[in-house]
């Protein structure tokens, strides 16, 4: 026999379930099922067309471990992620400090800084290839002055540097916004106290502002790292993975192998590994940063 209290508990549970249910369903359908299928596919030889892919065990992972191209793409991705994350964070903070303040000019510059992020990565890539290409704007100017062409996109090292540069240009608006939000939370009292105590701007920044921004730094680092680890569309539109495959990233190679080479099983194995590496790196950074955050609070 149900009591009023039990009925109330049941109502509460139903309410909770009705609120959590849709989100949980979406989570399962959009994340858990695809990840599960991806893992399953990585154990098959599916080519994208066959009705009954054969189970090949860990063969795709063994092939991946032996693939010089995939290993190279992995290192390229890690390099882009490491250098890009540092640049995004440093430049994001630097520009946030420059435009932090309530003036119309600052508002204008904030819009300008954020604008590249609004553009499609494909558009950004095509735009910059028109600027940096061998017959692009920069080289056109240089050759008109009698100078040598600079190999922005034709030399492997230059192309990688160009790719990172464009990624940072296109992405750092988000970091600026996050740091600006963080800067609004820095205690005015502490800043005022530091000023009264005679601290220089540099001392104030290092000892008051930066520690207060620690949680924002963590968010920035993790977001930038995860975003850069799955760099794909800018590679397509800026370098096409070239020259000679030197700017192929892991995500680019996954799509290339999956659809160009009809090796979706192998592509899925790469996806699973990339997912694990991304999760591992993001968790490691978050864990390391949380220690810093704890230290700041203490």
Partner 1 sequence: MARSIGALAAIAILVGAAGCGGGFSDEGSAGGPTGEVRMLVNITPNLTKGYWEELVKPFEEANPGVDVKIEAPTGQGVKDTLPQLLAAGNAPDVVETLMADKTLAPQMLELTDQAWTKDTPLVEQAALDSKVYTVGVGQQAQSLVFYNKEAFAKAGISEPPKNLDELTAAMGKLKTAGYLPLQTAGDYVTGLQLLQLSDPSIATKHPDWYQQVNSKQLSVGQTMLPLLQRYESWIENGYVDKNALGLDDVNAQTSFLTGKSAMYIMGSWFVRTAESQKPTFDLGVFAAPTEAGQPYPGPQGVTMAAPYMVLKSTKQRDLAVKLVEWLVSDQEAVQSQLAQDGNFRKGFTDKLTPLGKQVQDILDQAPKHVAQGEGYGANTLPQGFNGEWNKAVQSLYTGKSAPDVAKRIDSWMGSKS
The site for partner 1 (CB under 8 A) is made up of 30-31, 33-38, 41, 46-52, 63, 129, 132-136, 139, 149, 151-156, 159, 222, 226, 229-230, 236, 240-246, 251, 254-264, 267-268, 271, 274-275, 278-279, 282
Asked if 285 and 224 touch (Cβ cutoff 8 Å), the reply is no
For residues 117 and 230, which CB has a smaller minimum distance to partner 1 in the complex?
230
Q: Nearest approach, Cβ of 277 to partner 1 (angstroms)?
A: 10
Supply φ then ψ for residue 44, to 5 degrees: -120, 175
Neighbours of 40 (CB within 10 A): 14
Site of tokens 């735009």: 127
Tokens read off for 246: 């030197």
Q: Nearest approach, Cβ of 199 to partner 1 (angstroms)?
A: 38
Query: Cα separation of 144 and 258, whole Å?
Result: 43
Query: Cα separation of 83 and 76, whole Å?
Result: 11
Q: Nearest approach, Cβ of 234 to partner 1 (angstroms)?
A: 14
Would you call the peptide bond into 139 cis, given omega within 30 degrees of 0 as the criterion? no
Q: Nearest approach, Cβ of 262 to partner 1 (angstroms)?
A: 5
Q: Nearest approach, Cβ of 93 to partner 1 (angstroms)?
A: 22
For residues 149 and 191, which CB has a smaller minimum distance to partner 1 in the complex?
149
Tokens read off for 34: 């695809």
For residues 209 and 271, which CB has a smaller minimum distance to partner 1 in the complex?
271
For residues 30 and 86, which CB has a smaller minimum distance to partner 1 in the complex?
30
Query: Cα separation of 109 and 27, whole Å?
Result: 38
Q: Nearest approach, Cβ of 271 to partner 1 (angstroms)?
A: 5
DSSP character at residue 246:
T
Site of tokens 């695809």: 34
For residues 132 and 183, which CB has a smaller minimum distance to partner 1 in the complex?
132
For residues 64 and 96, which CB has a smaller minimum distance to partner 1 in the complex?
64
> Bridge partners of 55?
44
For residues 180 and 251, which CB has a smaller minimum distance to partner 1 in the complex?
251
For residues 10 and 279, which CB has a smaller minimum distance to partner 1 in the complex?
279
Query: Cα separation of 236 and 247, whole Å?
Result: 10
Asked if 168 and 81 touch (Cβ cutoff 8 Å), the reply is no
What 3-state class would DSSP assign to 51?
coil
Q: Nearest approach, Cβ of 245 to partner 1 (angstroms)?
A: 4
Q: Nearest approach, Cβ of 2 to partner 1 (angstroms)?
A: 39
- Cα atoms in the 13 Å half-sphere on the side-chain side of 181: 10
Tell me the residue length of the chain.
298
Query: Cα separation of 96 and 100, whole Å?
Result: 6
């Amino acid at each position: 026999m149900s009591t009023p209290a039990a009925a109330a508990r049941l109502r509460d549970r139903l309410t909770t379930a009705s609120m959590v249910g849709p989100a949980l369903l979406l989570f399962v359908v959009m994340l858990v099922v695809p990840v599960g299928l991806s893992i399953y596919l990585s154990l098959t030889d599916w080519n994208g067309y066959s009705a009954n892919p054969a189970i090949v065990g860990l063969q795709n992972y063994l092939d991946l471990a032996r693939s010089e191209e995939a290993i190279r793409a992995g290192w390229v991705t890690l390099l882009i992620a490491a250098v890009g994350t540092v640049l995004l964070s440093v430049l994001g903070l630097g520009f946030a400090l420059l435009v932090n303040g309530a003036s119309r000019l600052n508002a204008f510059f904030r819009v300008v800084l954020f604008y590249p992020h609004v553009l499609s990565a494909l558009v950004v890539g095509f735009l910059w290839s028109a600027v940096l290409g061998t017959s692009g704007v920069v080289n056109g100017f240089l050759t008109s002055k009698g100078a040598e062409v600079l190999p922005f996109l034709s030399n492997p090292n230059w192309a990688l540097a160009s790719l990172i540069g464009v990624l940072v240009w296109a992405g750092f608006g988000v970091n600026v916004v996050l740091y600006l939000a963080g800067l609004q939370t820095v205690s005015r009292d502490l800043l005022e106290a530091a000023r009264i105590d005679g601290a220089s701007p540099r001392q104030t920044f290092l000892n008051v502002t930066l520690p207060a921004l620690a949680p924002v730094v963590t968010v920035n680092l993790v977001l930038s790292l995860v975003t850069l680890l799955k760099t794909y569309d800018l590679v397509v539109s800026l370098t096409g993975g070239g020259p000679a495959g030197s700017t192929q990233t892991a995500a680019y190679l996954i799509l290339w192998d999956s659809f160009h080479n009809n090796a979706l099983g192998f592509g899925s194995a790469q996806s699973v590994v990339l997912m694990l590496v991304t999760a591992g790196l993001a968790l490691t950074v978050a864990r390391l940063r949380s220690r810093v955050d704890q230290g700041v609070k203490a």
